[in-house]
């Protein structure tokens, strides 16, 4: 068995993605929820735009935090926390500093607030972030006395992938979407394959009316345009994750059932099965001990090859808005990007990761499935398109 | 041996058909020279895999895919081996026609037998469709077929009918040479004999040259003027049919003949 | 003949199932349609009047009979959102969908056909690589992603095409109206062709590679026929039945794709009509849209069988051998 470099890459990528999906955004240092202004650019994209950072000073931790500012002024600056009786927050600029607040109690100041500007003796018409960050240089936030204050500077960029229309970290959404895609894709295909296998075995082994009925049902299901019926069902059954899995699996067992039926028919006539029957093996025994294991390797390949279809279907439904809006999935991300004007904002970074994620994971599953199929049945693989593709690539 | 410049002969000189297997060059046909004169029947005999089919198909420039042909193939004084595919198409069927292996599905499935014949007639001889249809009927009846077969599709014919139709098709452009590659293998014994007799009588009657590739040595010995025995891509022995079959000089030929006699005894 | 009848019967069963599904699925949708679209402050009398207007007060069996009659006569009842006959709205939208899907199918099929044959003839060439790549792309890239990318590149960054819609607002008159329509159609059409031709090309390449290895193609060459004739009249013509089948069986998928495409480009077609109707629980409208799409699919399946029988003599003359 020849494993091309590509297969190793696919397998490694699959393991990596599964690990990322299992960990989730938290352990990877990604924050869920709103973190920065809407459609912030990724950090690496535009070095001159202000980044989004948070400075934290407290009497129990660092009393002073410095930051080197090399950008245009940020969009928003705000302060939150607590200040004790003796507390005082000081802001040091290259041209000299000033005291931001010495009012004890809860701190909740925003650079857009008029009272805050008044207190600092700044004209209400002036843009306060540019007073706080007037030029390039070293700045420091310091706390005298006791308290715990966070300074949030919101610039036009965030993280490695930027933010979406609500200011959520796209990297975090990407990881959550990966999880949803994998769960839906794999679960729906597994259920569909199990359904397909049972119906296929039943159909092939029982024959007669059962066979005709099941195959007729498969034909009917195959002739109904898939997306519209999925839309209707999602509208009726609700948009939850597991509803989606159920809907997808009900409409994707037919192919497997046909394959398994054909295999069962050819195996039923095979001489070794005849032999088993001759020595008195019962139908259930032959079915469970021989036919199922015989069809199993191919089914594994079938699962891998079926996952892309399920993932694409889930993404399509989510894109049409027919998924749980609270569940961040890749299709949902594209739906949001499309609905909330990502491209009229030029925010291509909110589109690319989700789309690339879907395509990548589908390619990986196709590649793995192709290889599994070839391993399960080299003769069959030689007849399918996959083999031809490999020849050309070799 | 006739001259290569002779108009009425296919002269094959030092022909090799080579393919690559596991990085090594393997010869399906190795340095073979023979000739097929017009008006004679030459039998090319050998066990399966001896390279006789490859040798036959290499003559009109159609060796198995993935192989290289070297050597010279003269027909009417022209070396076919150096002609391009375009130039070769004037030789194919017009001068050298093939009666394919019986087991081959040599007819395009969606064309009627008539369409096959009129197609070559209109391409090579510029015969219009209507006249072509009459010619087709004549050809089919010469090959021993009812003209009703004309409108049939290949899958609607029996094996023997198909083989006769293939013969009619091969005769369509009145070629100088026929190359018959195991023309009767897939048929039952009686049909085999009938079809072969038809081929031989037509060839004799029209004075064509026939290269008959077969694994059946006694059959070839009974029909051919000259016999060539091939083994592992090389010519083991060649000469007048009577001489080769009665007094084989090469041990392999002797082996072949003895094997067949033993089989006859066993029967 | 019996085979043809059998297929026809099968198609009728599919239609019957679709009709039944259509009726029952929409009627078990969560949320009484009346409560979702009618102001809750309406008096019970007004509600009852509305219910009787849509026939919701009658027993289910009676509703079913009415429904079947409406469907088969293409009247489809009244929309719950607008109160207007559904057919009036659908009538306006069907041509838009057909104007999108038909050229898309023709273009992607011809491009796929040409590239597929080229690739099969030139194994290992750049064209073959393109075919293999686009084939893989068409099986793994979501169409709406590609469409959004196209929209962003060609309608936002380079403002060559409109961002959305079927016509400009207000629509221009005369010959400009046609140009305007085509201008709006160009990008969606391109996206469908880009996503569509790769799959066709890959299928055709694979079947063509197999066909070119057949004995009869070798023999057609041996007959000294010109190369083009061998390729097209012998090799390609022999794979025409399965090619046509794949082409026509892919139509349901193409029709499904109309929903997505029309949504991305905000076009006035049946697909988006279905989406809007589903989202607003307007079940006469959604049912009508679903039924038209299903009808299109079943029609295509039947057409596929008919064409198959026409182009494949082995099926056409079944039984004439005796």
Please report the pLDDT score of residue B252 as a whole number: 81
The CA distances from residue A290 to A271, A348, B99, in Å, are 13, 53, 48
pLDDT for A146: 85
- Alpha carbons within 13 angstroms on the beta-carbon side of residue C9 total 7
Question: Within an 8 Å CB–CB cutoff, is residue C307 touching chain B?
Answer: no
Identify the bridge partners of residue B242 per DSSP, sorted by sequence position.
none
Q: What are phi and psi of A264, to 5 degrees?
A: -60, -40
Asked, for residue B146, whether it belongs to a domain, the answer is yes
Please write down the long-range contacts of A212-220, taking CB distance under 8 Å and 24 or more positions apart. A214/A257, A214/A261, A215/A258, A215/A261, A216/C10, A216/C13, A218/A253, A218/A254, A218/A257, A218/A258, A219/C10, A219/C14, A220/C10, A220/C13, A220/C14, A220/C17
- Cα→Cα distances A161→A40, A73, A325, A334, A351, Å: 9, 21, 21, 14, 10
For residue B117, the chain C residue with the least C-alpha distance is C223
> Which of A89-98, A112-121, C25-34, C230-239 comes out lowest in average pLDDT?
C25-34
Mean pLDDT check: name the lowest of A263-267, A382-386, C170-174, C241-245. Answer: A382-386
- Find the helix or strand (DSSP H, E) in which B98 lies: strand B96-99
The predicted-structure confidence for B91-138, as pLDDT tens digits, reads as follows 888 889 998 886 678 899 888 999 999 999 999 989 898 899 999 999
Per-residue pLDDT of A225-237, as tens digits, reads 778 888 877 777 7
- Asked whether C and A share 3 or more beta-carbon pairs under 8 angstroms, the answer is yes
pLDDT > 70? residue C318: no
Which residue of C121, C207, C224 is the best one to mutate when testing the B interface, meaning the one whose CB has the most B CBs within 10 A? C224
Q: What angle do CA C78, C79, C81 make, to 5 degrees?
A: 145
Percentage of chain C surpassing pLDDT 70?
88
**Rounded Cα distance, A313 and A227, in Å:** 8
Chain pair A-C, CB pairs under 8 angstroms = 151
CATH number corresponding to A170-393: 1.10.3720.10
The pLDDT score that the predictor gives to residue C38 is 60
pLDDT at B240: 86
Across A161-165, average pLDDT:
85
Residue B1 lies in a domain: no
Burial environment of residue B51 by CB neighbours within 10 A (0 to 12, 13 to 18, 19 or more): buried
Lowest mean pLDDT among A345-354, C1-10, C293-302: C1-10
In a domain, B4, yes or no: no
In this complex, do C314 and B153 lie within 8 Å of one another by their Cβ atoms?
Answer: yes
Say if the Cβ atoms of A223 and C286 lie within 8 Å: no
Nearest-angstrom CA–CA distance, C75 and C69: 9
Parent domain of B180: 9-266
- Spatial separation of the C-alpha atoms in residues A331 and A337, rounded to whole Å: 10
Q: Do the domain assignments include residue B77? A: yes
Q: Which range among B131-135, C185-189, C246-250 shows the weakest confidence by mean pLDDT? A: C246-250
Rounded (10°) angle between helices A226-237 and C251-264: 60
Alpha-carbon distance values, C110 to B208, C130, C188, C249 (Å): 46, 16, 18, 16
**Distance of CA A123 to CAs A120, A136, B27, Å?**
9, 22, 96
CATH number reported for the structural domain that contains residue B123 in this entry:
3.40.50.300
- Number of domains into which chain B is organized: 1
Domain residue extents for chain A: 53-154, 170-393
Q: How far apart are CA A185 and CA A188, in angstroms?
A: 6
| CATH number of the domain located at residue range(s) A53-154 in this protein | 2.60.120
Name the more confident of C59 and C90: C90
Q: Which two tokens stand for residue A88?
A: 């005082």
| For A361, nearest residue in chain C (alpha carbons) | C140
Angle (CA) B236-B238-B242 rounded to 5° is: 125
Q: How confident is the model at residue A188 (pLDDT cuts 50, 70, 90)?
A: very high
State residue A192's pLDDT score.
93
Task: With cut-offs at 50, 70 and 90, classify the pLDDT of residue A350.
Answer: confident
Q: What pLDDT shows up at residue A189? A: 93
A382 pLDDT tier (thresholds 50, 70, 90): very low
Name the more confident of C119 and C255: C119
Predicted local distance difference test score (pLDDT) of residue A326: 85
Task: Give the mean model confidence (pLDDT) for residues B145-157.
Answer: 87
Residues of B within 8 A of C233 (CB-CB) are 108, 119
CA quadruple A366, A371, A376, A379: dihedral sign: positive
| pLDDT bucket at C31, cuts 50 / 70 / 90 | low
For C267-298, write each residue's pLDDT tens digit: 888 888 888 888 877 778 888 888 887 887 78
Looking at residue C190, what is its pLDDT?
A: 92
Which of C29, C132, C256 lies nearest to residue A392, judging by beta carbons?
Answer: C132
CA distance A32 to chain C (A): 24
Report which secondary-structure segment, H or E, holds B41.
Answer: strand B41-45
Output C107 or C77, whichever has higher pLDDT: C107
Residue in A141, A153, A50, A134 with CA at minimum distance from that of residue A95: A134
pLDDT category of residue A393 using cuts at 50, 70 and 90: very low
Q: Is the pLDDT assigned to residue A294 strictly greater than 80?
A: no
Closest CA to C139 of A218, A323, A307: A307
Contact B230, B51 (CB under 8 A): yes
Residue B187 lies in a domain: yes
**Which strand (E) or helix (H) includes residue B222?**
helix B217-223
Whether residue B123 lies within 8 A of chain C, CB to CB, comes out as yes
Q: Residue A385: what pLDDT? A: 39
Query: Can you tell me the ipTM of this complex?
Result: 0.87
For residue A114, what pLDDT is reported? 85
Q: How many CA atoms lie within 13 A of C295 on its CB side?
A: 13
| pLDDT recorded at residue A388 | 35
When pLDDT is cut at 50, 70 and 90, the band that residue B215 belongs to is confident
- What is the predicted pLDDT for the residue at C32? 57
The residue that leads in pLDDT, C25 or A132, is A132
Chain C environment of A229 (Cβ under 8 Å): 21, 290
Is C40's pLDDT higher than 70? no
Beta bridge partners of A144: A88
Query: Is residue B264 over pLDDT 70?
Result: no
Report the distance separating Cα C38 and Cα A242, nearest Å. Answer: 31
Q: Is it the case that residue C222 has pLDDT exceeding 60?
A: yes
pLDDT of C243 > 80? The answer is yes
pLDDT above 70 for C68: yes
Can you tell me which residue has the tokens 């040599």? B106
The label of the residue with tokens 């072949």 reads B256
Residue of C222, C309, C311, C313 best to disrupt the B interface, most CBs of B under 10 A: C222
Mean per-residue pLDDT, C151-173: 82
pLDDT for B7 beyond 80 = no
Flag whether B105 is in a domain. Answer: yes
- Whether the CB-CB separation of A162 and A42 falls below 8 Å is answered with yes
User: Is the predicted pLDDT of residue C86 greater than 60, yes or no?
Assistant: yes
Confidence of residue C255 (pLDDT cuts 50, 70, 90): confident
Question: Residue C138 corresponds to which tokens in the numbers above?
Answer: 């068409």
Each residue's pLDDT tens digit, B50-87: 888 888 888 888 888 778 888 888 888 888 888 888 88
At C114 the pLDDT is: 93
Asked if residues A268 and A202 have their Cβ atoms less than 8 Å apart, the reply is no
Q: Is C11 helix (H, G, I), strand (E, B) or coil?
A: helix
Residues C122 and C113: beta-carbon distance below 8 Å = no
Rg value, chain B, Cα: 18
Task: Report the residue from B90, B106, B110 with minimal CB separation from C219.
Answer: B106
Overall average pLDDT of the C307-321 stretch: 64
Average pLDDT in the C186-203 region?
90
More confident residue, B247 or A350: A350
Inspect the interface and report whether the beta carbons of B89 and C224 lie closer than 8 Å: yes
Report the pLDDT value the prediction gives residue C191, as an integer from 0 to 100: 92
CA angle B56, B59, B61 (to 5 degrees): 115
Q: DSSP string of A260-316?
A: HHHHHHHHHTSHHHHHHHHTT--HHHIIIIIIHHHHHHHHHHHHHHHHHHHHHHHHH
B259, part of any domain: yes
> Is residue A126's pLDDT more than 90?
no
Instruction: Quote the tokens at residue C173.
Output: 């008159």
Nearest CA distance, C298 vs chain A (angstrom): 7
Contact flag C222-B92 (C-beta cutoff 8 Å): yes
Report if residue B158 sits inside a domain: yes
Go through A28-43 and write b for each residue having 16 or more CB atoms within 10 A of its CB, e for each that does not: eebeeeebbbbbbbbb
Kindly identify which residue of chain C lies nearest to residue B116, measuring between CA atoms: C220
């Amino acid at each position: 068995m020849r494993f091309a470099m590509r297969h190793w890459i696919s397998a490694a990528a699959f393991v990596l993605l599964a690990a990322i999906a299992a960990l989730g955004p938290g352990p990877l240092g990604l924050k869920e929820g709103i973190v920065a202004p809407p459609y912030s650019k990724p950090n690496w994209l535009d070095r001159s735009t202000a980044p989004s950072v948070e400075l934290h000073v407290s009497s129990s931790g660092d009393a002073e935090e410095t930051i080197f500012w090399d950008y245009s002024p940020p969009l928003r600056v705000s302060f939150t926390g607590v200040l004790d009786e003796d507390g005082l927050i000081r802001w040091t600029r290259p041209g000299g500093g000033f005291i931001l607040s010495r009012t004890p109690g809860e701190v909740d100041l925003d650079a857009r607030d008029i009272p805050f500007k008044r207190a600092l003796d700044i004209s209400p018409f002036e843009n306060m972030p540019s007073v706080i960050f007037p030029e390039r240089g070293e700045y420091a936030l310091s706390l005298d006395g006791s308290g715990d204050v966070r300074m949030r500077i919101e610039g036009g960029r965030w993280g490695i992938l930027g933010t979406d229309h609500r200011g959520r970290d796209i990297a975090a959404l990407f990881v959550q979407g990966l999880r949803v895609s994998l769960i839906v894709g794999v679960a729906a295909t597994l259920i569909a394959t199990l359904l397909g296998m049972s119906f296929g075995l039943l159909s092939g082994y029982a024959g007669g009316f059962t066979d005709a009925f099941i195959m007729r049902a498969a034909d009917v299901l195959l002739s109904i345009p898939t997306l519209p019926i999925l839309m209707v069902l999602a509208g009726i059954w609700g948009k939850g994750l597991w509803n989606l899995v159920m809907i997808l699996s009900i409409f994707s067992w037919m192919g497997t059932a046909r394959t398994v039926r054909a295999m069962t028919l050819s195996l039923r006539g095979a001489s070794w099965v005849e032999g088993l029957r001759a020595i008195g093996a019962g139908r259930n025994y032959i079915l469970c001990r021989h036919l199922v294991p015989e069809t199993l390797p191919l089914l594994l390949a079938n699962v891998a090859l079926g996952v892309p279809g399920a993932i694409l279907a889930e993404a399509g439904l989510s894109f049409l808005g027919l998924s749980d809006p609270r569940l961040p999935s890749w299709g949902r991300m594209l739906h949001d990007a499309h609905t909330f004007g990502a491209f009229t904002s030029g925010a291509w970074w909110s589109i690319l990761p989700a789309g690339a994620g879907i395509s990548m994971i589908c390619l990986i599953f196709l590649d793995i499935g192709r290889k599994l199929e070839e391993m399960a049945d080299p003769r069959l693989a030689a007849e399918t398109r996959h083999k031809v593709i490999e020849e050309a690539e070799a | 041996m006739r001259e290569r410049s002779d108009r009425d002969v296919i002269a094959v000189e030092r022909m090799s058909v080579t393919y690559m297997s596991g990085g090594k060059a393997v010869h399906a046909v190795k340095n073979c020279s023979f000739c097929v004169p017009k008006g004679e029947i030459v039998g090319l005999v050998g066990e399966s895999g001896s390279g006789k089919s490859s040798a036959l198909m290499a003559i009109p420039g159609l060796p198995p895919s993935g192989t290289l042909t070297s050597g010279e193939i003269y027909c009417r004084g022209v070396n076919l081996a150096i002609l391009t595919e375009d130039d070769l198409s004037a030789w194919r069927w017009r001068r050298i026609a093939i009666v394919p292996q019986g087991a081959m599905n040599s007819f395009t499935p969606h064309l009627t037998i008539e369409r096959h014949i009129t197609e070559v007639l209109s391409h090579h001889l510029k015969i219009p469709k209507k006249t072509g249809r009459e010619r087709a009927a004549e050809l089919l009846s010469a090959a021993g077929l009812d003209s009703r077969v004309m409108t049939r599709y290949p899958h609607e014919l029996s094996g023997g009918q198909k083989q006769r139709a293939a013969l009619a098709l091969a005769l369509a452009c009145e070629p100088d040479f026929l190359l018959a590659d195991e023309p009767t293998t897939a048929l039952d014994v009686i049909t085999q004999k009938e079809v072969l007799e038809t081929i031989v009588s037509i060839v004799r009657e029209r004075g064509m040259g026939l290269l008959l590739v077969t694994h059946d040595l006694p059959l070839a010995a009974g029909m051919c003027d000259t016999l060539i025995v091939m083994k592992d891509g090389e010519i083991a022995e060649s000469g007048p049919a009577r001489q080769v079959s009665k007094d084989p000089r090469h041990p392999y030929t002797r082996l072949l003949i003895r094997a067949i006699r033993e089989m006859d005894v066993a029967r | 003949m019996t085979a043809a009848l059998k297929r026809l019967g099968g198609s009728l069963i599919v239609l019957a199932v679709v009709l039944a599904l259509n009726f029952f699925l929409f009627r078990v949708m969560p949320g009484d349609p009346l409560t979702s679209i009618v102001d809750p402050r309406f008096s019970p009398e007004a509600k009852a009047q509305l219910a009787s207007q849509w026939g919701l007060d009658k027993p289910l069996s009676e509703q079913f009979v009415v429904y079947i009659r409406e469907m088969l006569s293409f009247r489809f009842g009244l929309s719950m959102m607008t109160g207007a006959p559904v057919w009036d709205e659908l009538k306006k939208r069907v041509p838009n969908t057909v104007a999108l899907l038909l050229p898309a199918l023709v273009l992607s099929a011809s491009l796929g056909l040409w590239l597929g044959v080229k690739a099969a003839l030139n194994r290992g060439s750049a064209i073959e690589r393109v075919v293999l790549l686009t084939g893989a792309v068409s099986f793994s890239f979501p169409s709406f992603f590609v469409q959004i990318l196209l929209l962003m590149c060609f309608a936002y960054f380079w403002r060559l095409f409109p961002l959305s819609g079927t016509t400009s607002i207000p629509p221009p008159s005369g010959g400009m109206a046609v140009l305007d329509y085509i201008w709006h159609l160009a990008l969606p059409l391109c996206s469908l062709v880009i996503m569509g031709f790769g799959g066709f090309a890959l299928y055709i390449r694979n079947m063509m590679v197999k066909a070119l290895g057949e004995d009869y193609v070798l023999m057609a060459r041996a007959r000294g026929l010109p190369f083009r004739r061998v390729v097209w009249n012998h090799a390609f013509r022999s794979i025409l039945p399965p090619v046509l089948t794949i082409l026509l069986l892919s139509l349901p998928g193409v029709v499904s794709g109309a929903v997505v495409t029309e949504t991305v480009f905000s076009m006035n077609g049946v697909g988006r009509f279905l989406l809007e109707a589903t989202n607003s629980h307007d079940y006469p409208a959604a049912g009508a849209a679903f039924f038209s799409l299903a009808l299109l699919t079943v029609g295509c399946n039947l057409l596929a069988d008919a064409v198959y029988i026409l182009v494949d003599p082995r099926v056409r003359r079944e039984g004439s051998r005796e």
